[in-house]
Each structure stands twice: as structure tokens, then as C-alpha cells.
Amino acid sequence: MFGIDLIDASFLPAALVALAAGLLSFLSPCVLPIVPPYLAYMGGVSVSEMSTQASARGRVFQAALFFVMGLSTVFLLLGFGASAAGRALLAYQDYLTKGAAVLIMVFGAHFIGIYRIGFMDREARIDTGDAGGSVFGAYLLGLAFAFGWTPCLGPVLGAILGLAASDGDMARGTALLAAYALGLGAPFLLVAAFFPRLGGFMAWMKRNMGRIEKISGLLLWTVGLMMLTGQFSAFSFWLLETFPGLAEFG
């Protein structure tokens, strides 16, 4: 479609990985706990107002939408840049793929807890001043969040950027980061819209944060191993054979 083979059997597994990676980033210890106060600040309301007033949740949802647009802007640019770099080094694509696979496995081991990469356990927050209570301020906070929380999001985000760089196609690489942004941003919108109903679920997630980290690390390590051994491409071909309708996309 439009001369760009964007959606096909080789892209779909990577897009699903990117989407799941965004969700895992949202569930990380340095994001999930700050979601309610962050949303309330962006909407110019208190957490208690967000819990009890539908009008307050409406303002918060509007702010959250612009916040997600802000962080998506940064991630789309990162995806474009990573895939552009991969395209420039197309002659070394095999090395890029193996390097990305090793990087993903390293990040996976970090999450599993085999070792800890110190700088990735910290977040570099950017002071945006009094930016709460307006949609423009929420957009700025989205930009700041994407830049400022990069050390915290680094293990997962780095893995997806590695996938984008190894692909070498700018449209597909940007789309991978769009899937990541969707996985990270959509839960913000869901919490903003249904905050009173999600309190118990979020509390459960906080209590099980250690297990979530280990599961996410195991998934990342497995994806890296599949890329390193060529099984990720084999899985793509299996998808095409099992679901031949996928060949009609793109």
C-alpha cells in the first residue's frame, strides 16, 4: 500500500513485542506508582477529585491525551532516527541484528535480576515548572516524560530501538516506536478515564512488581535469543504460512 510494505508477517511479531514492551514500561517501578498524582497534576485537580468527580476525570483525560501525544512525538522521532541509522549501515545489517539481539538479552538479564545496570535504575527528571492544568502544559510534560524517564525506560526502550535499527526501514522503524508509544500511553488514558475502578488493580500490580519485572526480563531475553539464532525470522515465516492472509497486507 502506497509503495510501503509496512504490515506483513515479519513486521507483526516485532510490533507485538513493541506493544508489549510499552505496557511493561508503564508497569515499571518508576512509572506505575506516580501515575495517579501525575495525571491529577496534569489535569489541575487533586487525586481525591479525580476519584470522585466525573468532571475532574474529563479534564484529566483531556490532559492525558495531550500528554500521550507529547511522549509519542519523542518516541516517533527516536524510531525514525534509529531506523535511519540502520538504513545508513545497511551493509552491516547482519551485525546490527546480532548486536541488537545481544543488547536485548543484556537488558532482559537486567530485568530478571541476574545483575543490575545502575544508571538504568535511576530517572533523570526534567523540571517543567508550573505546567499542570492546561493541554499545552500536558503536551510539554509528555515531551519531558519521554526525555526525563529515558534512563528508567532504557532497558525496554533500548530493545525496541535495537529492533528498529536492525530493520533498516524508516517507515517500519517509526511504526515500531508508535506501537511502543501505544503500549505505554494507552494505559495512561485508561487510568484517567476509569481511575476509581482501577485502584485495586493498580495496588495489586504494585505488590507484584518484582514478578512483573522478572517476567518482562524473561520475555526480552527470549526475543533476543530468537533474533540471535534466526528463530525470530523463522517465527515470521511460520506466521505467513499459518495465516496466509497476512500476505495481502502491505
Helix/strand/coil for 249 = coil
Cell numbers for 221 = 531475553
Scan for cell 516517533, then name that residue: 76
Q: Whole-angstrom Cα distance, residue 215 to residue 145? A: 25
Tally Cβ neighbours within 10 Å of residue 118. Answer: 8
Give per-10-residue mean pLDDT for the chain (250 aa): 46 80 80 81 81 81 92 88 73 69 75 66 49 74 76 69 74 86 91 80 74 76 77 65 57
**How many helical (H) and strand (E) elements, i.e. helices and strands, does the chain have?**
10, 0
Q: What is the residue extent of each domain of the chain?
A: 11-230
Burial class (CB in 10 A: 0-12, 13-18, 19+), 59: buried
Check: CB of residue 33 under 8 Å from CB of residue 207: no
Q: What is the DSSP letter of 134?
A: S
Q: Whole-angstrom Cα distance, residue 7 to residue 162? A: 19
Q: Give pLDDT, residue 3.
A: 38
Q: Give pLDDT, residue 65.
A: 93
Q: Whole-angstrom Cα distance, residue 201 to residue 28? A: 15
Q: Whole-angstrom Cα distance, residue 231 to residue 228? A: 8
Check: CB of residue 235 under 8 Å from CB of residue 170: no
Q: Whole-angstrom Cα distance, residue 85 to residue 21? A: 22
CA angle, residues 210, 216, 221, in degrees to nearest 5: 125
- Phi first, then psi, for residue 73 (nearest 5°) are -55, -45
Helix/strand/coil for 114 = coil
Q: What does pTM read for this prediction?
A: 0.73
CA distances from 108 to 112, 115, 119, 122, 152 (A): 6, 10, 15, 17, 14
Helix/strand/coil for 127 = coil
Q: Give pLDDT, residue 232.
A: 65
Q: Whole-angstrom Cα distance, residue 231 to residue 3? A: 28
What separation, in Å, do the N-terminal and C-terminal C-alpha atoms of the chain show?
5
